[in-house]
Structure 1
Amino acid sequence: MTTPPSTPLVTLRELGPGEYDVLDAVVAGLSPDSRVRRFLGPVPELAPAVRDALAAVDGRRHLAVAAFAGGRPIGIARLVGEEPGRAELAVEVVDAWQGRGVGSRLARAVLDRGREAGFTTVVADVLAENPAARGLARALFPGLSGRPEGTEIAFTADLTAHEPSRAVANAA
């Protein structure tokens, strides 16, 4: 009988402002295809202004939670306020950890934090050809339907009507 390889414990924590090292490590772990799925287009490297915006976590308007395995960053989920009560959700998980429940854990954590911060509506734009992101949105918010917009699908969900922690508790 063989012993399965050990899997490092995955821990989550909120990010603070200017944690470029975590952001850079996660983006470096994304393949070109994963970058297209995350940023909705080819992104060989983050432009300085985009990098600065993604690191501008303030705990109020811009919330971010990161996942770590063996001390290394493996994913980030964020909510960025667009207008009062409304925020955009984005999730990125390094390729080596995709499909292992990290994205759903991150999304649940940042949505719970967003609810505490007063966000009532969450939006997410995903590529129509990204079944993992579409599946995550539907797992987080059962009964959710998206609105096609060209090559993307726009999802909008009411955080006051859904409890993401319960909806995907078994998916992580």
Structure 2
Amino acid sequence: MHEITLRELGPGEDDVLDAVFAGLSPTSRLMRYLGPVPELTPTVRRALTAVDGRRHLAVAAFAGGGAVGIARLVREGPDRAELAVEVVDRWQHRGIGARLVQAVLARGRETGIVTVVADVSAENVPVLRLQRALAPEARGRSDGAEIHFVTELAAPVLPAAA
């Protein structure tokens, strides 16, 4: 069993993005990008590596010497962000997606994100289960092919003063 480690990504960590993308099957890419994506265009690649720790937050998971997943929050406003997560196929169904989402949401709360939105394929059963498990109070609206979720984050719990 490999130990899973998480860490926040910095700008330009193209190698992490490339490793995760390469580990996604065509079906996983379809579920993640909501359409067929055989390769990342230069524009999309630049956007996904433009992590700055404030407007665009990303946390990656590593195991066995390589990147196995990424969760990101990209701001759509001062306190609202879109969530996306991807885990390479051979590492799916091991709880990595849940750990990534929890980590990026915690980081997002620290930066003032209050509302998180996510568009999920109606066929992406594992992510729909994850959404319900992590945010059962989330509001979802379906257009048939996709479900648009809106989740209000709870304020971070601060330790009591001694």
Q: Which of the residues 94, 97, 116 maps onto 1:100? A: 94
Q: Which of the residues 109, 119, 124 maps onto 2:113? A: 119
Task: Give the secondary structure class of the aligned counterpart of 1:42.
Answer: coil
The 8 Å contact of residues 138 and 152 in structure 2, kept in 1 or not, is answered as: no
Q: Does 1:33 align with 2:6?
A: no
The 8 Å contact of residues 141 and 162 in structure 1, kept in 2 or not, is answered as: no
1:109 is aligned to 103
Corresponding residue pairs, total: 157
Q: Does 1:60 align with 2:46?
A: no
1:146 is aligned to 140
Aligned-residue CA RMSD (Å): 1.3
Greater mean alpha carbon deviation, residues 136-145 or residues 38-47: 136-145
Task: Give the secondary structure class of the aligned counterpart of 2:127.
Answer: helix
Q: Does 1:160 align with 2:154?
A: yes
Task: Give the secondary structure class of the aligned counterpart of 2:97.
Answer: helix
Task: Give the secondary structure class of the aligned counterpart of 2:107.
Answer: helix
Task: Give the secondary structure class of the aligned counterpart of 2:76.
Answer: strand
1:137 is aligned to 131
Determine what percentage of the aligned residue pairs are the same residue. 68
Give, in whole Å, the separation in 2 of the partners of 1:150 and 1:162: 34
| Offset of residue 84 of structure 1 | 1.1
Runs of 4+ in 1 over 3 A off after TM superposition: none
| Offset of residue 162 of structure 1 | 8.8
Give, in whole Å, the separation in 2 of the partners of 1:139 and 1:127: 17
Unaligned runs of 5+ in 2: 158-162
Q: Deviations over 1:110-155 (max 9, x none)?
A: 0000000100000000000111111111111123341002310000
1:80 is aligned to 74
